Structure 1
């Protein structure tokens, strides 16, 4: 009897949810989303400043809006609270302007106005032509009220006088309060004049853009451009994770206009946004708009967007430097992702019908699958193109880094001249045996061009016996060649371009591989689940099982009224069938049809602690613990080579880069290769060593599989049931050689395990880990905070200790 209680409750809940109006809920969600978007725009507009510290764009947007006052007013109030400058007068002015706009909208929307105004005020608001005034009188008061309502509606809708006047009066009021409180300074008088002029002008331009008055063929593009420029300019006063919002909006608007209005409009938008954001980045936004709009016109919009973002990123790195790539890369990737989703949704609304009947489900599913396969093919082609470009740039870089024959001859001539000028045997070598000496120099030049350095093999024995300075000459030749090669490397960016294209290809390949595994259905498991549901007395329309690691079971048209099992039993049986722990089933109702969804859930949880002791004033170690939305947990220790601020900078850069990439869901191997390339590209411009060790643990919280990836890092330890297991790998730190030298050690963790990771400073006087191993055996159930404190305190007791870092992770069951 208990087994049928929960299904019946779920069924009754499904019936109650089905009685709701889905169309009304959808309209409310759309309205809420629109208000939030307008509120965000208003917030940015409220932050924008012009000369003399004036902010007229906020009230201009409020007065120009067509009635969407709620979100805009909220955004402007939040902007004033965030600024904390002259807050009360501005909020009062915004509130009064909002009341005026709402009153106007009420009069506009009323079909018959019952308000009786004095004749003089009515003529002032809307003067009636003489021909109308001398016409035949109306036959009823109702007719006169209808005419008055139409005149008022025409005044508020067709004329911008009231909205412009509202903005001007509002800015005049705020400016006058500023003049009085500031002691009547000329600066404040100029601010008043500028605000009163700019606010009504902005209202006119904003209104034409927001109302979409495309019939005004000349004014509308100017208004739209002014609105974009004002928004980008205002967004420059806000930041997200250290990136100015203006950069994101400028690229987003350029791509959006190019995608939906055409390539030339997109190019114009890129120029306008670049002027308002950063003039030096105008080519970046122009390149992005041209690439996106050009490929969009050929039906390749989803391919054009990532190419456009890469083009903009390439120019930005070229102008701003490689150090900005760490900050700009996630921002440009986010813009590209948003635009790809927007274009895909827009294409879907155009190509697919609004509603699909049951008989058309198979056709629609086939279309979706064909489209998905086509998108995958295009991304594979794009990945192949990036890989080919990367190989070409690597080959070109390898050629460019080799000095030419003439340069090598000059190096050899100068090296011989520096030594031979004072040599007593000069008349023999460069006189009697000139041809033989010249042949030796030619052989040295050939060897230098082939191997990059010279040795004594090309020098005859009699010449080495006669010239006791030959070793010095060879060392000078090698030193000169090394200097010239370094200069060529620093002046050439082709290898950096090759690394960028290789990284882009790797990211696309990883995304395709993940999509192929996590969104591929499993027909065999679908049949097994269907048989189980029928045997359990659960009715259903269709069963879909997809995903590999994050498996999901979606049952459409589910009916649990006659179920023979409880929901807990159902979850346990399906978990055993899938080989993964599934969460509690969730039920949804859409268009009167109920659906059930079961998703894979975490089987482990992590409680961690970290501790760091600096050997000098600044620690060169960086310790980090974080997780991403794909149910992976990461523990990371970076130890910058060297000491002091340079080591701290390198380790901090590595930690931030890896966290950003891994949080975004990228594979650890790809992120490490990109980091290695980044450090390599930074090293030629640095006077000090800038390599770093990487000790990374990646734990899959769903399956319990852990991967310990080490690049020049110290051993790690796992304590299980009083037994200590030591994991180590011999490899070089990142940033030293172009090919990543990292090794991974796999281990299956379970609840009750304790993971210890340390930097090399912990083991400087204990290379065999004898003390640490004995301590871990005896630590028992000690909390992670106490473990890391004991380890670092013991290492700090050595006479001259290095930076000491340790982290401890206690693995627990699912929460």
Structure 2
């Protein structure tokens, strides 16, 4: 017989496995959606809770849970109130028909009170609780009188206690019902809300008292299961709270369950302390508490029953999906899950904000592109049209009344057109004067030559004015485009900065705090925002040190040793009273520092100088040095130079690039006034991390860098600011080194000594011969030498000297424990 080969089943591929997995996930999500729809949206869960609360008793005779639950559901979810009432009546029937009758009657009376006087919105919770008290008190009082025909003081007291408990439970259930019946967004619950939910759940479980399976009490199993859930989700505090509240309510329901409060509280405490072991650790806490409290409370007789109940609770707990526990933990403040949820929400807000800022950036970029787009072909066509309009205005006054019009424009169009164009160009180039040769040649060709030349000269004035206005508009468009592009770049950088996620530095914060406290210093808190090399940012709260400088002398050196780089005090806000806390910010020290010295003198020894200067540290670790010289002398020149530097400082501090900032300042100065008041600008931008410098010189005289015996000249050629609206800014880059001395000056110093033929060589020699390296002394010596050589001060003079130095910390690092250092 031939062997028949059976086809081999091909293994499922990755695609099939992925589809199967996605199908299972979709099925689970659909099942969860249907479950939520049935139990939560349709209110079946409220009916089940009502059934158990209708069975719940205190001291085997008081039933204060039913009416408060109905009142809370009626107030919070009126459409589901009939279901809740049905569940309460059904639960009451399992105890005695009178319980159901009391619940129904008191609910009817409650609705009657509500109908007679509907409570105001502001105090509706308090009013509803008072209605519950009155309804339950009157119904129980009537039942007592109808059944026994007498009312004793004890009976009156018990009725009052039950009505009082119902009034308090109403306020508690009102806080719990929305959390159980409505799928709210994930948010942190208040402590009062958590306790309210625990009371409601414990009250519900009270309805299971008396339910037994093989001598095992379901109320004991469910209560311990509840403690396990909250012990793992919320830790020792929440676990012990759940145990105490649940045990207290159980003990009120049955005196025999008094020892359960100790067992549940101890279980919640141990389980919360062992929550790092997850489910196994929390379960071990319950079993340990069961053995200890069980032996103490009931001896060895019922220890096995109690142990079996705890084991069943542990089995249910282990079978509980972790997602349910995580959902519970998300609502409890202080848990890791809640912190992650809050961070996720903050991340969403951050991303939305960054997206909006980025959209604005794109809008400004689009606006910039629309302003900067210039069609060259369209420009040529526009120029031709403008020249045609120009000739039409000329011919209207001359050629239209000439008898040779047909011969000039019909037979010799090109010659006439080119001739008039040549006349216009020569008049424009020679300031309205036409060469005699061109005039004679045109006179031979045109019978009305002088009239045509005069008309062209007259129209040329209007034409040139129109062209100048259009050029200014185009230049303004280009400047606006550059400014919009700069704003777009700033907003784009801001969006990226927003999206930089703050890393979680809990371990580093704890390690730094322990290291400092081990040293003997007490600090309030440590908040780390960045640990990037060169960009460390740490905020700390330290006790008031009475001006001893502990932050600068002790904490910053310790941080320097821990983080492996120099850390300094960036800002310090001292406490206003001796027992207060100081807020201190520590940041990375820059690799270089700039020390400056300034010497200046006004013309004729006056008090007001037309020169202005500024030195400022800008964000991103840059240091700016600027000198501005206003045109002329006196207050007007001083005002112009000062305004130039103020505008420049605002633009630079906003994050706009240096070239665009200078162009923007120039635009403001040129458009602000019609007076011929101009300013020069000498700007140096030094990066404090690598000492790279950019020099932007606007009609300013050269600067000098002294590097040992070598003198380096820095110069550039640009027109003064405010003359024209559009100009190019030349940027000169130079990499400075530690020990370099940068000398910047105004033209009054550079042009000072009139008898010196080569002022540049003279200044280089004077700078080279100086033995001091102190910036202030160098500035004073240069200014003094110029004034002494010239004899008078015939112009405003300013010298700004800057020395580049390595940033050497004032205090050496303080070594800490190697373990602390390793933890970083």
What is the TM-score of this pair, normalised by structure 2? 0.42
The structure whose RCO (Cα within 8 Å, separation 6+) is larger is: 1
TM score, norm. by length of structure 1: 0.42
